[in-house]
Amino acid sequence: MHNKKKEPFVPVDRHETVRRDIVAAIEGRALSAM
C-alpha cells in the first residue's frame, strides 16, 4: 500500500518540474517578444 502511494508521486513531481521549466521558458519568450 505504501509503495503504491509513493510510486505515482514520483513521476508527478518530475512531470511538474518539467512543466514548470517549459512554462518559465514560454514566459521568458513572451516577455522578450513584448
Q: Residue 10: what pLDDT?
A: 58
What would the pLDDT profile of 5-33 be if each residue is shown by its tens digit?
566 555 566 778 888 888 999 998 888 87
* pTM higher than the cut 0.75: no
φ, ψ (nearest 5 deg) of residue 16: -65, -40
pLDDT of residue 12: 60
**What's residue 5's pLDDT?**
59
| CB crowding 1-31: b at 16 or more within 10 Å, else e | eeeeeeeeeeeeeeeeeeeeeeeeeeeeeee
Mean pLDDT throughout 2-7?
Answer: 59
